[in-house]
C-alpha cells in the first residue's frame, strides 16, 4: 500500500453520537434531536448507547420484533429529517475474532437492522480488554489484524455495494494517551490503518479521551499512521464520568478548517439530553462556518435560541441570568466568562483580609442575588425535563453559595482572622457526607495532576 494517503473520500460526517454510559435517550428526545440537527445542518446520528444491552453485553442476541419496531422509529425519523442513521455494535467485550459463529452473529444482527432500513454501520472496539485469546493469536497474530478482518468482512457484506453508505470503526486505542501506553499491542494503529479497507472511517478522540485541544499537527501525524484522516469522536461535552458535571458551553479548540483535516466530527455529549442544546448548536456552526467560527459568538447565539425553552410560570429569565447559568457549567477545562468573574470575586473574599476586599464584597452580593433568582426561575420552568436535568446540580451551587455567604459574613464580623464558622443548614453527615465524599477527600490533586494525601485532623 502506498505510504501517502489512500483515503477514498466519502461524505464529511457531522453530528451526534449517542455513545455514553448510562440511560439511553428516549424516542421523543431523539426525535427533537433530529429536527434540531437538520435545522443546524448536521448530517449524522450514531446509535451506540453503551448500556443498551444489545449494544455490548448481549451483542449476540437478536432483537425481538418489538425492540426492533422501537428502533425503527428512530431510523424513520432520521430519514425524514435527511439525517444518516448509523447503527453501532460493540462486540469487543467477549468476541472470539477467529470464530465463524461470532462473525455470523454479527451478520445476523446487521441483517436485522438492514431490514428496518439501516444502511450505515459502526463497529466499536473501545473500552474492551486487549488481551488476545490463544486461538485468535494463532490465526491473526495481532489484535489489529483480528479486528481488521471482521471489519473488512462486514464492510464488504453490508456496505460496500451501497452507494453513499458508510462504515465506521472505533479502534481500541482511540486517543494518543492510549496509543502511548501501547494499548492494543505494538504498531496497532499503523497496522489497523494499513489493513482496513480505505473507505472505512476511523474514530479518534484526540490527545486524550476528553481533549481540550485537537491541533492540526496532531491530526496530520495521525493521518499518516491511519492512512486516512480521522473521524473525531468528540467527548468534550460527555459527562458520564462525573455526576456533578453538565456541559453547556460551545465546541472549541478544534482545527479551524475541519474538512481539511478530518473525515468528520461527531460529539458524544451529556447523558442528560436537555443539556445538549448549545453543544449541538455550536457544533453545527463549527462545521458550517469553517474559518469564520467563533466559539464565543456561537455560544451567545446558542443561548439566544435556547432561551425560548426557558419559559416559566412566573417571571421570565433575563439574558444575563441564562448566561451566568450556562457559564457555570460550560466546559470541562474552563468556565464561561460570567462564572469566571464570579469565581474571582469569591476567591478575593475567601483568600484575602476584609480590608483588602475592595468592591468584591458588593459584587458577591450581586452574584448571590442572581443565583437565588435563577433558583426560583429554574423551579418555575414549564419545561419540566429541562428543570429535572439541572435541578440537582444547581442545588449544590445554591448550597455552596449560601455557605460561602455565611462564611464571608462571619469572617467580616470576626475581623478576618482565621475563622471557624458554623452554618445551621450545613451539618456533619448530611452536608458533604457519605462514602463517595469520604473517599474523594482522602487524596488531593495538585495543578500538575499529581495526587497526595489530604491533610486530615
Ligand atoms: C469513552 C467512551 C465513551 C464515553 C466517554 C466519556 C469513547 C470512544 N468511548 O472512553 O463511550 O462516553 O469515554 O466517558 O470515547
* pLDDT-derived band at 3, boundaries 50, 70, 90: very low
Distance CA 104, CA 102 (A): 5
Q: What residues does each domain of the chain span?
A: 6-306, 319-417
Q: Of all protein residues, whose CA lies closest to atom 7 belonging to ligand 1?
A: 126
Residue 146 has pLDDT above 50, yes or no: yes
Test site for ligand 1: of 16, 24, 240, most ligand atoms within 8 A of the Cβ: 240
Cβ atoms 310, 318 nearer than 8 A: no
* pLDDT-derived band at 456, boundaries 50, 70, 90: low
| Catalytic pick among 127, 157, 190, 240 | 127
Q: What share of the chain is helix, strand, coil (3-state, %, to 5)?
A: 50, 10, 40
| Topology at the third CATH level for domain 319-417 | Methane Monooxygenase Hydroxylase; Chain G, domain 1 (1.20.58)
What are the DSSP E strand ranges found in 13-119? 13-18, 44-47, 84-89
What are the tens digits of pLDDT across the range 396-431? Answer: 999 999 999 999 999 999 876 667 889 999 999 999
- The correct CATH number of 6-306 out of 3.50.90.10, 3.40.50.620, 3.20.20.80, 3.30.365.10 is 3.20.20.80
Q: Do domains 6-306 and 319-417 have the same CATH topology?
A: no
User: What integer is the mean pLDDT of 259-266?
Assistant: 95
Distance CA 434, CA 440 (A): 10
Global pTM value: 0.96
Q: Tell me the average pLDDT of the chain.
A: 95
Q: Measured in angstroms, how far is the CA atom of residue 445 from the centroid of ligand 1?
A: 23
Q: Classify the C-alpha dihedral 272-325-447-407 as positive or negative.
A: negative
Residue 418 confidence (pLDDT) = 67
Residue 2 has pLDDT above 50, yes or no: no
Residue 1 has pLDDT above 70, yes or no: no
Q: Is 126 in the pocket of ligand 1 (CB under 6 A)?
A: yes
What are the tens digits of pLDDT across the range 57-69? Answer: 999 999 999 999 9
* pLDDT-derived band at 455, boundaries 50, 70, 90: confident
359 is an active site residue: no
Residue 5 has pLDDT above 50, yes or no: no
Residue 4 confidence (pLDDT) = 41
Question: What is the number of the ligand 1 atom nearest to the C-alpha of 241?
Answer: 14
Q: Measured in angstroms, how far is the CA atom of residue 19 from the centroid of ligand 1?
A: 7
What are the tens digits of pLDDT across the range 185-217? Answer: 999 999 999 999 999 999 999 999 999 999 999
Amino acid at each position: 500500500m502506498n505510504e501517502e494517503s489512500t483515503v477514498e473520500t466519502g461524505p464529511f460526517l457531522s453530528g451526534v453520537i449517542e455513545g455514553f454510559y448510562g440511560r439511553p435517550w428516549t424516542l421523543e428526545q431523539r426525535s427533537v434531536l433530529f429536527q434540531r440537527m437538520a435545522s443546524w445542518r448536521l448530517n449524522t446520528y450514531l446509535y451506540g448507547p453503551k448500556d443498551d444491552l444489545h449494544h455490548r453485553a448481549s451483542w449476540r442476541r437478536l432483537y425481538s420484533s418489538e425492540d426492533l419496531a422501537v428502533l425503527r422509529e428512530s431510523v424513520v425519523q432520521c430519514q425524514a429529517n435527511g439525517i444518516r442513521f448509523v447503527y453501532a455494535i460493540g462486540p469487543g467485550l467477549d468476541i472470539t475474532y477467529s470464530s465463524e459463529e461470532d462473525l455470523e452473529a454479527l451478520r445476523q444482527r446487521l441483517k436485522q437492522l438492514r431490514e428496518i432500513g439501516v444502511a450505515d454501520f459502526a463497529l466499536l472496539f473501545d473500552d474492551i480488554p486487549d488481551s488476545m485469546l490463544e486461538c485468535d493469536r494463532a490465526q491473526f497474530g495481532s489484535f489489529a489484524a483480528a479486528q481488521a478482518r471482521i471489519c473488512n468482512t462486514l464492510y464488504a457484506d453490508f456496505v460496500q455495494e451501497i452507494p453513499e453508505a458508510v462504515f465506521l470503526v472505533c479502534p481500541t486505542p482511540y486517543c494518543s494517551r492510549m496509543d502511548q501506553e501501547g494499548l492494543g499491542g505494538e504498531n496497532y494503529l499503523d497496522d489497523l490503518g494499513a489493513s482496513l479497507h480505505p473507505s472505512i472511517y476511523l474514530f479518534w478522540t484526540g490527545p486524550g479521551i476528553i481533549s481540550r485541544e485537537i491541533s492540526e499537527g496532531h491530526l496530520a501525524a495521525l493521518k499518516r499512521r491511519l492512512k486516512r484522516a480521522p473521524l473525531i469522536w468528540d467527548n468534550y461535552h460527555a459527562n458520564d464520568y462525573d455526576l456533578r458535571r453538565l456541559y453547556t458551553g460551545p465546541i472549541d479548540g478544534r482545527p479551524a478548517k475541519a474538512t481539511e483535516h478530518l473525515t468528520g466530527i461527531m460529539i458524544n455529549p451529556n447523558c442528560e439530553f436537555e443539556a445538549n442544546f448549545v453543544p449541538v448548536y455550536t457544533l453545527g456552526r463549527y462545521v458550517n462556518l469553517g474559518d469564520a467560527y467563533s466559539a464565543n459568538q456561537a455560544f451567545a447565539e446558542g443561548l439566544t435560541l435556547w432561551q425560548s425553552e426557558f419559559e416559566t410560570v412566573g417571571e421570565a429569565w433575563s439574558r444575563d441570568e441564562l448566561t451566568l447559568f450556562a457559564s457555570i457549567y460550560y466546559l470541562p477545562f474552563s468556565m464561561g466568562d460570567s462564572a469566571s468573574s464570579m469565581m474571582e470575586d469569591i476567591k478575593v473574599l475567601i483568600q484575602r483580609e476584609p480590608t483588602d476586599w475592595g468592591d468584591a464584597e458588593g459584587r458577591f452580593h450581586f452574584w448571590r442575588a442572581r443565583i437565588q433568582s435563577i433558583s426560583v426561575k429554574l423551579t418555575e420552568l414549564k419545561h419540566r425535563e429541562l428543570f429535572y436535568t439541572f435541578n440537582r446540580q444547581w442545588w449544590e451551587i445554591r448550597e455552596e453559595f449560601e455557605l460561602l455567604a455565611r462564611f464571608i459574613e462571619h469572617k467580616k464580623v470576626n475581623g478576618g482572622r482565621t475563622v471557624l464558622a458554623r452554618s445551621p443548614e450545613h451539618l456533619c453527615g448530611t452536608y458533604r457526607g457519605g462514602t463517595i465524599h469520604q473517599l474523594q477527600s482522602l487524596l488531593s490533586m495538585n495543578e500538575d495532576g499529581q495526587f497526595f494525601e489530604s491533610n486530615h485532623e
